[in-house]
Amino acid sequence: MKNKIIVSGATGFVGQNLVPFLENKNWSIIPLSRKLEQNNTSLNYENLTIDDFNAAYAFIHLAGKAHDLKKTSLDDEYYEVNTELTKSLFDLFLQSDSKVFIYFSSVKAVADEVKGILKEDHPYEPGTVYGKSKALAEQYLLSKTIPSDKKLYILRPCMIHGPGNKGNLNLLYKVVSKGIPYPLASFDNKRSFVSITTITEVIENLLTRRPDSDVFNMADDYSISTNELIKVMALAIDKKPNLISINSTFIRWMASVGTLLGLPLNRERLQKLTESYEVSNSKIRKVLNISKPYDTKAGLTATVKSFNIK
């Protein structure tokens, strides 16, 4: 039990990086999947029992229904996967001998828009079904009494970057790689990112050092503007950044027209491209005494270069 960890969502981007990282630290990983695998080395949700939890030191819950940018998912899917499944797994954990439960949530559980810098004490104000489903899961976990010998850690990452993970950076990468002009350079914004390296190291530190149960934001030390991000991308693939500064008032007017006519550039998309979303990581840094910040630009450069690998 001392070195066994059950991990849900082990095949996702975070899981694919976390599992080998932990295995290299001599942890024994038991993947939890939706289907029973032929090799019988993993567990599945249907046959998971309290005995499985008893055999594990920790449970890391990465699995979840991600935010659907195309808006084709039903609301119930978010609540079923992100809320109800999390509640069921946590109930089993509380009844078991397992010692640590790590829930991978999101900053979107508390705010879809941020004024200033987002901290952990921000009230719950999710703006999407995805965020609401994560918030409900968090609230359920936090409503329970945690036995003195157990620990609960809720992690709220912002946008994750790392080699192989295109995610929300993919659209911007296509613009830069094709030399398409970026017409929103007149907007001055700042966004926080978090490196997959930071995530894996923080999780391993929580497992070994076991600070008090708490909620932690996950972000790199420095925020970066969209204009800076485009320059980093261009430099990484030996392209010249093509930034065009068009009057922001005119752009907003165009977005309003686009909203009325159903065009690609609408108010919602403009907001996503130009809004600021800064996240504080001071709490986790203080608790774990992290002294060496991860270089956001270096991490993003490595991420972008991985897109170019055929």
Q: What is the CATH number of the domain that holds 225?
A: 3.90.25
Between 69 and 22, the more confident residue is 22
Residue 226 sits in which domain range?
162-192+220-277+292-310
Mean pLDDT computed over every residue of the chain:
90
Same domain, 116 and 260: no
The model's pTM: 0.90
Length of the chain: 310
Same domain, 147 and 117: yes
Amino acid 260: pLDDT: 92
Same domain, 230 and 124: no
Highest mean pLDDT among 22-31, 60-69, 71-80, 166-175: 22-31
293, 221 Cβ separation under 8 angstroms: yes
Residue 202 lies in a domain: no
Amino acid 238: pLDDT: 93
Average pLDDT for 102-117? 95
Token pair of 24, please? 């290299």
Choose the weakest-confidence range: 35-39, 59-63, 230-234, 240-244. 35-39
CA angle in degrees (0–180, nearest 5) for 230-276-308: 25
Exposure pattern of 77-112 as b/e (b: 16+ CB <10 Å)? ebbebbbebbeebbebbbebebbbbbbbbbbbbbbb
Residue 209 lies in a domain: no
Highest mean pLDDT among 128-142, 219-233, 245-259: 128-142
The answer on pLDDT for 289 being more than 80 is yes
